[in-house]
Amino acid sequence: MFDRFIPTPSNSSIGLGAITIHYYALCILLGIIAAIVIGRVRWKKSGGIVSELYDLAIYVIPAGIVGGRIYHVVTTPELYFGVHGKLSNAFKIWEGGMGIWGAVAVGALVTYFYFKFEVRSITFAQAIDALAPGLLVAQAIGRWGNWFNGELFGRPSTLPWALRIPLRDRPVGFEKFSTFQPTFLYESLWCLVCALIILFLPAVRKLKPGNTFLLYIAMYCAGRTWIEALRIDRAHRILGSRLNVWVALFCGLVSIFIIVKRQRVTAKRPR
């Protein structure tokens, strides 16, 4: 009989001889490829030399992965340090645990230094604007890695698109529930919508260089705030709300403030 719920994959990897391919890592790889393909087109439209994008990718990709992992480890130290932690697990990125905040922050910092010490064909602001929608598509693809791992789902739900979770993967206290909110799907779809807005909304093209990237952060944070609030996996809380809810609110509001301020300065500037 047809199951109206979304199933969780029965395995999260595939073995090819002596090699094990983890679907989580594969999703990240596919996301990186998508980001480069989309970024390449926009980089050229901005007047940039494509070889510079490839050079930048050599530095930014590992920096983003490291930054994302560091954020996860720092915000969940009990998993890797102390009596019940295991430090070696910090290197097992295929098991999940990549904080987008750390990935974007470290990746943006490396990009800034790439442009700071040598003149390039386009500016730093143009570069991050060109990469913004590709990053959103990469995030949309990467979230499916959580589906393969059976992790980061939301509260119990009986909606037709709810995610069926095996008993072994259900959090303590939720063993009697079998279907949950598919937050990985919500975030994936939200990222795609944000990417389409940046790519096709005419008003975005009128933004001052650098503000498109800030718009990406603001829109992503708007979605992440309510999606994060649905999740029931263990997380540190501040004033009753999950840490990442506060991070999303802070980053989103700061991004909006900077966009408004920079656009006002541009509007008041004599023509």
Angle of CA points 132, 130, 186, to nearest 5°: 20
Report the pLDDT value the prediction gives residue 1, as an integer from 0 to 100.
Answer: 42
Q: How far apart are CA 129 and CA 43, in angstroms?
A: 9
Average of per-residue pLDDT across 157-171: 93
Q: Tell me which residue of 268, 259, 32 sits closest to 145, measured CA to CA.
A: 32
Global pTM exceeds 0.75: yes
Contact 94, 126 (CB under 8 A): no
Q: How far apart are CA 223 and CA 176, in angstroms?
A: 29
Q: Strand 19-22 relative to strand 163-164: parallel, antiparallel, unpaired?
A: unpaired
Please give the helix or strand (H or E) that residue 19 lies within, else none: strand 19-22
Nearest-Å Rg of the Cα atoms of the chain is: 20
Read off the pLDDT of residues 189-207 as tens digits, 9 standing for 90 and up: 999 999 999 999 999 999 9
Please name the residues in contact with 171: beta carbons below 8 A apart, sequence gap of 6 or more.
232, 233, 234
> How far separated are the first and last CA of the chain, in Å rounded?
68
Please name the residues in contact with 156: beta carbons below 8 A apart, sequence gap of 6 or more.
174, 177, 179, 180, 181
pLDDT of 211 > 90? The answer is yes
Report the pLDDT value the prediction gives residue 96, as an integer from 0 to 100.
Answer: 67
Read off the pLDDT of residues 214-260 as tens digits, 9 standing for 90 and up: 999 999 999 999 999 999 988 889 999 999 999 999 999 999 999 99
Please name the residues in contact with 29: beta carbons below 8 A apart, sequence gap of 6 or more.
none
Read off the pLDDT of residues 1-12 as tens digits, 9 standing for 90 and up: 446 799 999 888
Please give the helix or strand (H or E) that residue 27 lies within, else none: helix 23-45
Q: How far apart are CA 93 and CA 111, in angstroms?
A: 23
pLDDT of 271 > 90? The answer is no
pLDDT of 265 > 80? The answer is no
Average of per-residue pLDDT across 31-48: 96
Q: Tell me which residue of 207, 62, 60 sits closest to 134, measured CA to CA.
A: 60
Label residue 165 by pLDDT band (50, 70, 90). very high
Mean of all residue pLDDT scores within the chain: 91
Label residue 269 by pLDDT band (50, 70, 90). low
Average of per-residue pLDDT across 98-122: 93
Report the pLDDT value the prediction gives residue 266, as an integer from 0 to 100.
Answer: 60
Contact 147, 184 (CB under 8 A): yes
Report the pLDDT value the prediction gives residue 86, as an integer from 0 to 100.
Answer: 75
Q: How far apart are CA 5 and CA 11, in angstroms?
A: 18
Average of per-residue pLDDT across 205-210: 94
Contact 169, 188 (CB under 8 A): no
β-bridge mates for residue 32, sequence order: none
Q: Which two tokens stand for residue 221?
A: 């944070």
